[in-house]
A and B are shown apart, each in its own frame.
Chain A
Amino acid sequence: MIEAGIRQVRVALAMVFGRPVNPRLVERLIGDALATIEEFGAPGDDVEQLIDGPFADPAERRDLQTRALQRTARRLAKRSVFYRERFAAAGVDPGALTPDSLRNVPVTRKADLVARPRDFICGRPQMVTQTTGTTGAPARVWVSRYEIELWPALIALSLLLRGEARPGDCMQVNMSSRATAAVQEDVEVFRLLNAATRVVGQVPPDESLDHLLDTAGVTPTLLSGYPSYIGQMVSAARRRGLGPDDFRLRGVYLGGEVLSPALARAVRETFGADQVADTYGMTELLPVGGRTCRHHHLHLDPNMGFAEVLDLETGEPAEPGRLGTLAVTPYFPYRECMPVFRYDTRDVVRALPERLDCELAAVPAVSQVLGKANRLLDTAAGLVTPRDVAEALDELPGAEWPVRYRAEVVDGKLHVTVVAEHASPVDVTERLGARRIDAVAEVVRLGPEEARALCPLRCDLEEKTFVRGAA
Chain B
Amino acid sequence: MSAGETLFLAGVDCAFALAVPLGAVLYLRRVRVPRPPVGTFNGRDIAVMMGFVLALPFLYLALPGAALPAVLGLVFAGGLTVGYQPIVARTLPRWAAILALLGADLTSRLLLGGNSPVYWLANSCVVGLIVVSATNLNVQGGMRLRNIAWFILLLGLYDLTFATVLPLTQRLADAIQGYPFAPSAGLRIGGLGAVIGMGDLLAYSLYTTAAYKAYGAAGLRTALPLVVVFGGLVPAVTPPVVGWLTGHTPSLVPAQVVFAPAAFLGYLALRRRGPERRMREYLATVTLPAPVVEPAA
Give residues in A with beta carbon < 8 Å to B: 1-5, 8, 29, 32-33, 35-36, 38-47, 49-50, 161
Contact = CB atoms under 8 A, between A and B. Distances in A.
Nearest to B36: A44
B48 A32 contact: no
Output the residue of B34, B142, B283 with the most chain A CB within 10 A. B142
B278 interface: yes
A47 B37 CA distance: 5
Interface stretch (B39-47, B117-125, B183-191, B232-240): B39-47
Interface in B116-150: 141-142
Nearest to B142: A39
19 contacts: A1-B40, A1-B41, A4-B40, A5-B36, A29-B38, A32-B40, A33-B38, A35-B142, A39-B40, A39-B280, A40-B142, A40-B278, A41-B278, A44-B34, A45-B36, A46-B37, A47-B37, A47-B38, A49-B37
A1 B42 contact: yes
Interface of B: 34-42, 44-45, 48, 141-142, 278-280, 283
Contacts of B39: 1-5, 8, 32, 36, 44
Contacts, number: 79
A8 B48 contact: no
Nearest to A44: B35
Contacts of A39: 40, 142, 278-280
A103 B273 CA distance: 68
8 shortest interchain CB distances as A-B pairs: A41-B280, A4-B39, A47-B37, A44-B35, A1-B39, A39-B142, A39-B40, A50-B37
B279 A4 contact: no
Contacts of A35: 40, 42, 142
B38 A36 contact: yes
Contact of B279 (A40, A49, A161): A40
A161 B39 CA distance: 12
A1 B37 contact: no
Contacts of B41: 1
Nearest to B34: A45
Contact of A43 (B38, B142, B283): B38
A229 to B, nearest CB: 35
A38 B144 CA distance: 13
Given A1-B142, A44-B35, A45-B35, A36 B45 contact: no
A8 B41 CA distance: 15
B137 to A, nearest CB: 10
A39 B213 CA distance: 12
A40 B280 contact: yes
Nearest to A41: B280
Contacts of A32: 38-40
B278 A161 contact: no
Contacts of B279: 39-41
A36 B38 CA distance: 6
A29 B37 CA distance: 11
A33 B37 CA distance: 8
A4 B36 contact: yes
A161 B48 CA distance: 26
Nearest to B144: A39
Given A1-B141, A3-B45, A39-B280, A8 B40 contact: no
Contact of A8 (B38, B44, B142): B38
Nearest to B44: A3
Given A2-B44, A3-B45, A5-B36, 19 more contacts: A1-B40, A2-B45, A2-B48, A3-B44, A5-B39, A8-B36, A29-B38, A32-B38, A39-B279, A40-B279, A40-B280, A41-B278, A41-B280, A44-B38, A46-B36, A46-B37, A47-B37, A50-B37, A161-B38
B35 A50 contact: no
A46 B35 CA distance: 9
Contact of A40 (B35, B44, B48): B35
A277 B39 CA distance: 28
A36 B278 CA distance: 10
Contacts of B142: 1, 35-36, 39-40
Contacts of A36: 37-40, 142
